[in-house]
């Protein structure tokens, strides 16, 4: 028996499957090893149950203890230097040759040179940098390695530097020798042997023990309410180290995996219910859901990667990207809800979950608050700054409470927060990519499209100035109405500016561009005239696509007349041909009907603004009657049956239009003329 599903049921199944698929990926991304589930600090009470050792483990010394013992062992370390014995003969022969060339043969001086050079080079000449380094490290002896690998120890004071060797030669040198530049023949022949020195250090450090005792299985460690002392901290830290070592080799137990699956499914279910119940527009669009879920996967994936490779802190992950991007495309509540759900899941992957959740909820709130009315790209940079400040202030406050000592604060976290905030500037690129991939429209792009100095708008104002002014007035009307009924005012403002750009193709056929001249449509039969007027919709769509306007804006162009008739030509045709039935299709716009609040508002604003120009008298009564009749007529024709707009919304829109049109056409006082 084949089960037949309704379109709504198929939609629900596809959405549920999408959420389950994402939940499965998140389970896979969770670290495979168990994390140590306890968080502890010196001076703080132990808030968990009684802990006893479940296995034998050593007590590891802390870094300070290990460093102190290491320094004590290496106190007697002597670095190794290789002595080059070939330098002696080379430099002696070179100097004697130069001396004979300049001053002739003098056996006494030559013998002195050979004697002193042999004496100095036998001890060794070391560079001044190496000598100062030895003094800085408090080394008193060095080990000298001869070419035959025989080693002997010698005091630092007995080693020559180029300067002390020079002074030693000149001490009792003949007068004729002192005029020579001896520095040319004094080179370092005692060089540091890093390999032998490193081996010697390693051998000495073999006796360094990293532990200071053992904890036996079943031994009591700490109980609830006890203060964590330095000693108990050392034991707990040792337990953590050994537990993590064991967990790297042992996969998670099935109970842990089941718990993770239930937790992730529970949180994803809450997100699913929120979107289904409170954001039907997002729920109905699969691309919108994929956008949100892909951002969640991105955050979880980056965190998992940071934990696994352990090369950088997970606090460097730009978590605020998620609420920023969702806020740009949707709304603040959805952004914050999705952010909190994601951070709750990630908190099970990181250590010190409480601190992590506190910081992430704070920066999520900062992100959505700073982007309440995003109208410029520079606001993203400002948001990154606000998030960094929120990170730092909340982290320092939390550390002051938990540590109780400013000197114990780990200031390296400030660097992590700075890196994360810089990464937030990637939102520019990601927003652009999501716009192109998912066909979405950000408020930043809408602001750019409302620039009346753009090439398309300038051309519009020059070719069809009357229609351009009409579009500006419609934009003002529609924007105010959208604000009153919580529609997207920026979207409807942009759509209104472009809704009549099709009239650019033949502006002379539209009365607002004729400047009181003859209307060329009066010389054409009614059917042809109707076709010309109707074509401004299809022409507008064509121009919009040619200029790469977003689909959401093109939607305003196609729907702003819905399936209305060109009543002037339709009624004129009937009056001229009372016995002939007109072809309704010729006099009817191609549609489609308005399909959201914004397009419905534009249809009303367009009709009301155009009709207001033909009023003979502008009074409260005439304006009110005009607005009521135009919009009620559209409702009677079923123009709004596809738009999610209520009767209450319509009444609110009417009231806004009435007040705005009254302000457009308010009367002015007549200025008196001067009497002659």
**Which 3 state secondary structure label does DSSP give 631?**
helix
Question: What is the rounded distance in angstroms from the CA atom of residue 319 to the CA atom of residue 528?
Answer: 60
Question: What is the rounded distance in angstroms from the CA atom of residue 263 to the CA atom of residue 341?
Answer: 11
Listed in sequence order, the residues at least 6 apart from 385 whose beta carbon sits closer than 8 Å to its beta carbon are: 421
Where residue 2 falls among pLDDT bands split at 50, 70, 90? low
Q: What is the pLDDT of residue 249?
A: 47
Percent of the chain at pLDDT above 90?
Answer: 43
Structure letter (DSSP) for residue 158 = G
Q: What is the pLDDT of residue 211?
A: 85
Check whether residue 400 and residue 296 sit in a common domain.
yes
Check whether residue 359 and residue 502 sit in a common domain.
no
User: Tokens standing for 240?
Assistant: 């953590």
User: Tokens standing for 373?
Assistant: 């009315």
Question: Where is pLDDT greater, at 200 or 42?
Answer: 200
Does the residue 271 lie in any domain? yes
Q: What is the pLDDT of residue 592?
A: 93
Question: What is the rounded distance in angstroms from the CA atom of residue 539 to the CA atom of residue 499?
Answer: 11
User: Tokens standing for 331?
Assistant: 């709304």
Q: What is the pLDDT of residues 543-561, one digit of tens each?
A: 999 999 999 999 999 999 9
Residue 366 pLDDT > 80, yes or no? yes
Listed range (124-138, 430-444, 465-479) with the worst mean pLDDT: 430-444
The mean pLDDT value of the chain amounts to: 87
Does the residue 447 lie in any domain? no
Structural contact between residues 359 and 402, judged by C-beta atoms closer than 8 angstroms: no
- Of 85-94, 164-173, 322-331, 333-342, which has the strongest mean pLDDT? 333-342
CA torsion through residues 137, 142, 145, 146, sign: positive
Check whether residue 403 and residue 460 sit in a common domain.
no
Q: What is the pLDDT of residue 608?
A: 94
What average pLDDT does this structure show over 302-322? 89
Least Cα distance to 238 among 482, 53, 499 occurs for 53
Does the residue 66 lie in any domain? no
User: Tokens standing for 35?
Assistant: 């994390």
| CB-side neighbour CA atoms (13 Å) of 60 | 13
Cα 373 vs. chain centroid, distance in angstroms? 19
CA torsion through residues 151, 155, 156, 157, sign: negative
Percent of the chain at pLDDT above 70?
Answer: 92
* pTM (two decimals): 0.65
Question: What is the rounded distance in angstroms from the CA atom of residue 239 to the CA atom of residue 53?
Answer: 8
Check whether residue 554 and residue 463 sit in a common domain.
yes
Q: What is the pLDDT of residue 74?
A: 87
User: Tokens standing for 144?
Assistant: 């000298």
Question: Beta partners for 60?
Answer: 211
DSSP 380-421: HHHHHHHHHHHHHHHHHHHHHHHH--GGG--THHHHHHHHHH
Q: What is the pLDDT of residue 351?
A: 79
Check whether residue 279 and residue 414 sit in a common domain.
yes
Check whether residue 474 and residue 543 sit in a common domain.
yes
Does the residue 674 lie in any domain? no
Q: What is the pLDDT of residue 21?
A: 96
Check whether residue 501 and residue 633 sit in a common domain.
yes
Check whether residue 536 and residue 660 sit in a common domain.
yes
Q: What is the pLDDT of residues 457-516, one digit of tens each?
A: 999 999 999 999 999 999 999 999 999 998 989 999 999 999 999 999 999 988 888 876
Listed in sequence order, the residues at least 6 apart from 416 whose beta carbon sits closer than 8 Å to its beta carbon are: 312, 313, 315, 316
Does the residue 446 lie in any domain? no
Where residue 421 falls among pLDDT bands split at 50, 70, 90? very high
Check whether residue 510 and residue 650 sit in a common domain.
yes
Check whether residue 498 and residue 644 sit in a common domain.
yes
Structural contact between residues 409 and 403, judged by C-beta atoms closer than 8 angstroms: yes
Residue 411 pLDDT > 90, yes or no? no
What average pLDDT does this structure show over 279-298? 93
What average pLDDT does this structure show over 285-292? 93
Other CB atoms within 10 A of residue 578 CB: 6
Does the residue 51 lie in any domain? no
Does the residue 342 lie in any domain? yes
Number of domains, the chain: 3
The residue ranges of DSSP E strands in 563-659, in sequence order, are: none
Listed range (531-535, 615-619, 653-657) with the worst mean pLDDT: 615-619
Instruction: Examine the fold and report which residue of 170, 190, 205 is the final residue of a domain before the chain moves on.
Output: 205
Number of H-type helices and E-type strands within the chain: 28, 8
Question: Where is pLDDT greater, at 219 or 173?
Answer: 219
Cis peptide before 193 (omega within 30 of 0): no
Q: How far is CA 472 from CA 104, 240, 431, 560, in A?
A: 104, 68, 29, 15
Check whether residue 373 and residue 480 sit in a common domain.
no
Angle, nearest 10°, between helix axes 455-463 and 465-484?
120
Residue 184 pLDDT > 80, yes or no? no
Q: What is the pLDDT of residue 179?
A: 65
Least Cα distance to 537 among 576, 503, 568 occurs for 503
Residue 610 pLDDT > 60, yes or no? yes
- Of 54-58, 168-172, 333-337, which has the strongest mean pLDDT? 333-337
Residue 137 pLDDT > 90, yes or no? no
Does the residue 670 lie in any domain? no
Check whether residue 465 and residue 594 sit in a common domain.
yes
Residue 1 pLDDT > 60, yes or no? no
Instruction: Name the residue range of residue 116's domain.
Output: 73-205
């Amino acid at each position: 028996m084949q089960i037949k599903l309704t379109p709504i049921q198929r939609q629900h199944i596809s959405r549920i499957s999408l959420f389950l698929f994402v939940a499965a990926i998140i389970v896979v991304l969770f670290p495979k090893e168990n994390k140590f589930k306890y968080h502890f600090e010196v001076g703080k009470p132990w808030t968990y149950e009684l802990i006893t050792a479940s296995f034998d483990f050593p007590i590891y010394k802390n870094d300070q203890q290990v460093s102190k013992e290491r320094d004590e062992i290496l106190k007697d370390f002597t670095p190794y230097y290789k002595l080059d014995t070939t330098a002696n003969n080379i430099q002696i022969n070179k100097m004697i040759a130069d001396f004979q060339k300049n001053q002739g043969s003098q056996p006494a001086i030559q013998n002195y040179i050979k004697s002193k050079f042999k004496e100095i080079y036998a001890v060794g000449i070391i560079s001044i940098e190496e000598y100062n380094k030895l003094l800085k490290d408090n080394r008193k002896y060095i080990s000298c390695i001869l070419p035959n690998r025989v080693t002997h120890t010698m005091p630092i004071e007995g080693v020559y530097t180029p300067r002390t060797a020079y002074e030693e030669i000149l001490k009792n040198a003949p007068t004729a020798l002192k005029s020579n530049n001896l520095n040319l023949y004094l080179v370092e022949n005692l060089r540091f042997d890093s390999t032998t020195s490193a081996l010697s250090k390693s051998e000495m450090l073999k006796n360094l023990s990293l532990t200071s005792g053992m904890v036996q299985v079943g031994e009591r460690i700490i109980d609830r309410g006890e203060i964590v002392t330095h000693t108990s901290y050392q034991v707990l830290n040792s337990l953590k180290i050994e537990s993590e070592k064991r967990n790297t080799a042992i996969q998670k137990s099935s109970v842990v995996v089941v718990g993770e699956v239930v937790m992730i499914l529970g949180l994803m279910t809450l997100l699913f219910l929120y979107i289904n119940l409170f954001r039907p527009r997002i729920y109905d669009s699969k691309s919108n859901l994929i956008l949100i879920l892909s951002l969640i996967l991105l955050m979880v994936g980056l965190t998992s990667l940071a934990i696994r490779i352990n090369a950088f802190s997970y606090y460097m992950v730009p978590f605020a990207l998620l609420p920023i991007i969702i806020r740009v495309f949707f709304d603040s509540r959805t952004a914050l809800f999705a952010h909190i759900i994601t951070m709750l899941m990630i908190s099970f992957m990181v250590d010190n979950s409480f601190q992590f959740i506190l910081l992430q909820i704070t920066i999520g709130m900062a992100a959505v608050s700073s982007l309440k009315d995003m109208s410029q790209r520079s606001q993203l940079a400002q948001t990154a700054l606000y998030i960094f400040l929120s990170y730092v202030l909340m982290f320092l406050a939390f550390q002051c409470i938990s540590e109780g000592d400013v000197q114990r604060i780990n200031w390296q976290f400030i660097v992590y927060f700075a890196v994360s905030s810089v990464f937030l500037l990637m939102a520019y690129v990601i927003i652009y990519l999501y716009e192109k991939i998912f066909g979405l429209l950000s408020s930043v792009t809408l602001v750019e499209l409302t620039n009346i100095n753009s090439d398309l708008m300038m051309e519009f104002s020059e070719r069809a100035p009357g229609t351009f002014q009409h579009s500006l007035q419609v934009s003002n009307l529609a924007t105010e109405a959208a604000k009153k009924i919580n529609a997207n005012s920026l979207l409807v403002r942009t759509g209104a500016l472009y809704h009549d750009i099709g009239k650019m193709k033949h502006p002379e056929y539209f009365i607002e561009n004729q400047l009181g001249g003859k209307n060329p449509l009066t010389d054409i039969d009614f059917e042809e005239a109707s076709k010309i007027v109707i074509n401004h919709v299809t022409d507008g769509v064509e121009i919009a696509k040619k200029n790469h306007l977003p689909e959401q804006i093109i939607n305003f162009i196609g729907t702003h007349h819905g399936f209305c008739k060109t009543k002037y030509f339709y009624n004129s045709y009937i009056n001229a041909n009372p016995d002939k039935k007109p072809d309704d299709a010729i006099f009817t716009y191609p549609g489609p009907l308005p399909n959201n609040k914004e397009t419905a508002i534009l249809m009303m604003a367009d009709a009301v603004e155009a009709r207001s120009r033909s009023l003979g008298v502008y009074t409260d009564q005439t304006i009110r009657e005009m607005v009521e009749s135009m919009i009620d007529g559209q409702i009677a024709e079923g123009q709004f049956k596809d738009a999610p707009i209520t009767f209450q919304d319509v009444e609110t829109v009417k009231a806004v239009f009435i007040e705005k049109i009254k302000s457009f056409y308010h009367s002015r006082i007549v200025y008196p003329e001067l009497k002659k």
